[in-house]
Structure 1
């Protein structure tokens, strides 16, 4: 697999322009922007710079965040997701990654939040199909269920894909799925619906459940085994996207981080 840089990996030091230039400088052929840096640079300007650099856009992070406490909040989420679809189309992203959202403030009704996610996804799928943008559902580790995603397992994500049909798929991030005892069966079930493959590592001990990810090889995830699963299942993509949310790595010089990522991609991924 080729290497792709998720821009959150160097978010504290570089904007999108620097990430594009850094990928070109280090010979990293793929990039996956987050929407904040994309919007800060300007979508049209970013699309041109990415094309000029010859980079493949392996994904756009993120859509989702559907659950809300009232109808106005749910409607605002749908509009934001439609903007995200338009942005993904404009930069030629292979998929729009969905972090579906947690419980609305003050709520303990988990089934209702999951139903809001389901309804939101159904509402935006016609827009995604019209734009030719694949909606990639990313299951997140159960520790994030309350605040970031009520979609916790690959099996749940694939059940939704079964409903949503054409234009839907999954983003498989090893950080969020490595623990799942049903992972091998669900990856095989996913097959060609795997739209993105994200790599990083789970450190022991983990000092922060969000911002202490390790580079591949720093933790306990058997990344090569999961990579073999996704390839054997029929993953049509040829990129492994490195996505590191880490206060420790954010403090490093981004050029050093990219050089280390390249080395670990060769030896670990």
Structure 2
């Protein structure tokens, strides 16, 4: 029996071709423990009903991906233009969804630095997080900033390492803000496992997939089928004190072997097996030394 210490969650981006209702029904049938909500899949007229259905299906809500999750523009969500409009959109997502996702982190990143000005991007991100963190606390939710892979620099992000994210969190200085850790994004940074341990209790969201040299930014693999040392990173995450959901987050479109064109139920099933195998194999290797 696996001793995997985390709940198994699935981010709705992983099953992009399915509707929200299909996600809920099929995740529950596959014994998924938690769902990471993508606001873009919700019907604004039925949001409360949809989120209630997820809970009734036995799915914990591990995190939320708001429609607008960057303060500066991004390739994934270029509209609305203007920082204030984007900050307001993020705040509105928290206000709308927080009554139905108690305690959940809302995932965000900086967006693309204007004209490559990373310092301005970081300074303004800190400023706006200082504004939003008390609101999140009042609403009973949190905000988790996600460093992205260097492939996204100047497209979606100004930060690409755990340490950069921790520096930003130190500058914000509010307990309602923490870290979203996506192994695909950060696994290549130096001393990655040690950086995860340093994050400690600031870890709020953990996401997993696997890596090959990507054909695009939408090219991720099922855990255990690529290059990421998942076992080492999972153990570092547990040693940091995290005990929430380890969430499968896969983007896979516009490539010849797109997982979106395959049996998504099998993708979800194999995702769990790959994570459990990585955890157990690393533990066995440690004990054999």
| Same fold per superposition (TM over 0.5) | yes
Deviations 1:222-257 (A, max 9, x none): 1110011111111142x2100000121111132232
Question: How much does 1:162 deviate?
Answer: 1.8
Q: Residue in 2 aligned with 1:162? A: 170
- The 2-side partners of 1:40 and 1:224 are apart by 39
Q: Residue in 1 aligned with 2:101? A: 92
SS at match of 2:42: helix
Q: Residue in 1 aligned with 2:87? A: 78
RMSD of aligned residue pairs (Cα, Å): 2.1
Structure 1: runs of 5+ lacking an equivalent: none
- The 1-side partners of 2:97 and 2:192 are apart by 28
Q: Residue in 2 aligned with 1:11? A: 16
- The 1-side partners of 2:45 and 2:11 are apart by 16
Q: Residue in 2 aligned with 1:122? A: 130
Q: Residue in 1 aligned with 2:239? A: 232
1:213 aligns with 2:220: yes
- The 1-side partners of 2:269 and 2:137 are apart by 37
1:253 aligns with 2:259: no
Q: Residue in 2 aligned with 1:141? A: 149
Structure 2: runs of 5+ lacking an equivalent: 1-5, 280-289
1:24 aligns with 2:28: yes
SS at match of 1:33: strand
Contact 1:191–1:235, Cα closer than 8 Å, also in 2: yes
- The 2-side partners of 1:16 and 1:224 are apart by 31
- The aligned length equals 262
SS at match of 1:58: strand
- Report the CA distance shift for 1:183/1:26 in structure 2 as closer, same or farther (over 3 A): same
Deviations 1:67-95 (A, max 9, x none): 269xx711101111112212441332621
Question: How much does 1:132 deviate?
Answer: 1.4
Q: How does 1:106-121 map to 2 (within 5 A)?
A: 107-121=115-129
The alignment's TM-score, normalised by the length of structure 1, stands at 0.90
The alignment's TM-score, normalised by the length of structure 2, stands at 0.84
